[in-house]
Amino acid sequence: MWVSKVFCAVYLVTLVVCGASGRSASASIDSKNVRLLKDLQRHLAQPVIPDTYQGSEGNPRLIGARFRTRVDHFDPQNRDTFEFNYYSNDEFYQPGGPIYIFVGGNFQLTTYYIEHGLLYDTAARDHAWLFTNEHRYYGTSAPVENYSTENLRFLHTEQVLTDLIEWIDHLRNEVVRDPNAKVILMGVGYAGALATWARQRFPNIVDGAWGSGATVLASFDFQEHANDIGSIIRRFGGDECYNTLWVAFRTAQNLIDSERDETVTTLLNTCEPIDSGNLLDVETLFYHLKLAIQEAVFQGYNTTRIEQLCSSLVNKDEPTALSALAAWLDVYYANLPCNPFDFDANMEAGKVLQPGAAENVILGLRQTQYQACTEFGRFRTTDDDNQPFGSRVTMHFFLESCRALFGGWVTDAVIYDGVRLTNIHYGGQDPRSTNVLFTNNEFDPNRLLSITRYINPLSYAYVVPNEFISSEIYSINEQDSDELTTIKQNIQQYFTLWLSGGMTPL
Ligand SMILES: *[C@@H]1O[C@H](CO)[C@@H](O)[C@H](O)[C@H]1NC(C)=O
Ligand SMILES: *[C@@H]1O[C@H](CO)[C@@H](O)[C@H](O)[C@H]1NC(C)=O
């Protein structure tokens, strides 16, 4: 089996994980592989940390701590508690100054954004005390002894918001020792949604919130995702590139339908032979083909990468569109002996229950998937006609993935209900919160799950033109476009407004 030689867990909704040896990889993944894992995880809306960042460089003001809180905030009969990690940086703080928090999401705690970036720069300007927390169940902040399905029941945004708010109350009273300190939250992706929801729910505690790419909308079938990537490919790679992909995907489908599975198995170098009778394996294969292209499009945050991808796809030396795609894939996954694009191989990494395993600590695979199956959905199907990735990745695939990982109780009604309730509870794209700022980027499909137009008191939404994910969370830089610079300055102006209680400072 390939899996015994090379640890290559290819995970359905998230990523390709490749390291060196051992299935229970916690002990065996070295730092190079950890970097690789993180690199491959970029298409999740997580804050990107520059490759060169090696952790804090001995800033004496940066201090780690843990906060103890209840495992279940809503059951007074359950007295269990746990601790989550957080970091504090008071290098700019002056008494009377505000608290700025970089909110933890579905990723390991990082101190990067309380030592770098626009939030950090704004803290310097405003003499703020910076904090960042680790979200329950992620990194090493496990509230339960293992991640069995039963034990994942405390992984819910309502619990997470309560963690956040009780911690902030503690920070104000016991750490900063200023019960009146203003509090502003900032988060990226899912954590951006949490930040804005915390303001919506607890305006008495949170004075303002900025979400970058904040994914506030839950949705059953996120078919617009494929469509948006198709448009980006067409724009920067040209019609010929788009058409090559379209033809390659359709050709593979037609070959499988006409039971010429072997041709596809050989061309795409799959570890297990493709069997046209096995719908889940066929769906997994197409899921991965799309994922590979999608990662290549967003890697490097640079349209030059898309031109490079397209120049190898529109390769005159290859006889067919499918063989051009296969040739590109061969180079792209050169480190894999074969491509593990079958369903069972894809489920393995998500079935690891030990909270300390790399799949869970570093990648948050099982936890992220659980949240998708129970609260957010957003399954990236290829149901839409207006995209180049064929038509084989359907809700069936994602539903069966949820069931394989968490059990047969997950039905489409369960997922649908989770999505519907999330949107009712938080208001989806119409949250009616005040003092919230939504920022997004033109080349980030997740902006479709965020808010790109928003008018409410002391609130606004910006979309940065011609930029990939998270361009606006970094320091103001002379290489920034004029639009990007203006948006960063406006973000800082909103902080000023929130601190002054809405009175424009003279
Ligand atoms: C997971 O933890 C629970 C207790 O929370 C225990 O009863 C169960 O046996 C554990 N399951 C596994 C597979 O370790
Ligand atoms: C994009 O990549 C090209 C070539 O690798 C490089 O010259 C250019 O500076 C990059 N652009 C940005 C915005 O990083």
Three-state SS sequence of 273-298: CCCCCCHHHHHHHHHHHHHHHHHHHH
Reply yes or no on whether the pLDDT at 32 is more than 50: no
Interval between CA 150 and ligand 1 midpoint (Å) = 9
* Nearest one of 264, 263, 261, 258 to 275, comparing CA atoms: 261
Q: Is the predicted pLDDT of residue 112 greater than 50, yes or no?
A: yes
Q: How far is C-alpha 277 from the chain's CA centre?
A: 33
Confidence tier at 201 by pLDDT (50, 70, 90): very high
Q: Are 370 and 403 in contact (CB under 8 A)?
A: no
Of 51, 302, 308, 480, the residue with max ligand 2 atoms within 8 A of its CB, to mutate for a pocket test, comes to 302
- 209-213, 361-365, 451-455: the lowest-pLDDT one: 361-365
Which residue's alpha carbon is at the smallest distance from atom 14 of ligand 1? 146
Q: Starting from the CA of residue 355, give the closest ligand.
A: 1
Encoded amino acid at 422, one letter: T
CATH of the structural domain 220-420, one choice from 3.40.50.970, 1.20.120.980, 1.10.1660.10, 1.10.3720.10: 1.20.120.980
Cβ neighbours for 215, distance < 8 A, ≥ 6 positions apart: 45, 189, 190, 192, 193, 376, 378, 446, 449, 450
Question: What pLDDT is stored for residue 503 in this prediction?
Answer: 67
- Judged against a pLDDT cut of 50, whether residue 12 lies above it is answered with no
Per-residue pLDDT, averaged over 121-142, amounts to: 98
Q: What is the mean pLDDT of the chain?
A: 90
Find how far residue 410's CA is from the centre of its chain: 22
Query: Is residue 14 pLDDT above 70, yes or no?
Result: no
Yes or no: say if 183 and 207 are a contact pair by the CB < 8 Å rule. yes
Q: Is the pLDDT of residue 323 over 90?
A: yes
Q: Kindly indicate the confidence band of residue 301, based on its pLDDT and cuts at 50, 70 and 90.
A: confident
Atom of ligand 2 nearest to the CA of 305: 2
Q: What is the pLDDT of residues 446-475, one digit of tens each?
A: 999 999 999 999 999 999 999 999 999 999
* pLDDT number for residue 211: 98
Measured CA to CA, the distance from residue 456 to residue 461 in angstroms comes to: 10
CA distances from 427 to 150, 420, 431, 459 (A): 28, 10, 4, 16
Lowest pLDDT segment from 226-230, 411-415, 445-449, 499-503: 499-503
Domain ranges of the chain: 62-217+430-500, 220-420
How far, in Å, from the CA of 148 to the mean position of ligand 1? 7
- pLDDT, one tens digit per residue, over 245-297 is 999 999 999 999 999 999 999 999 999 999 999 999 999 999 999 999 998 99
Residue nearest to atom 10 of ligand 1 (CA): 146
Q: Is the pTM here over 0.75, yes or no?
A: yes
User: Band of the pLDDT at 204, cuts 50, 70, 90?
Assistant: very high
Confidence of residue 437 (pLDDT cuts 50, 70, 90): very high
pLDDT bracket for residue 55 (50, 70, 90): confident
CATH architecture of 62-217+430-500: 3-Layer(aba) Sandwich (3.40)
- In the reported structure, the alpha carbon of residue 304 is separated from the centroid of ligand 2 by a whole-number distance in angstroms of 7
**What is the residue whose two structure tokens read 């949705």?**
219
Atom 6 (ligand 2) nearest CA: 304
Report the atom number in ligand 1 closest to the C-alpha of 148.
Answer: 1
* Neighbouring residues of 420: CB distance < 8 A, sequence distance ≥ 6: 218
Q: CA 407, CA 346: separation in Å to the nearest integer?
A: 16
Nearest to 380 by CA among 233, 226, 228: 226
Quote the CA–CA distance of 428 and 422 in Å, as a whole number: 8
Q: List 121's β-bridge partners, or say none.
A: none
| Confidence check: pLDDT of 384 > 60 | yes
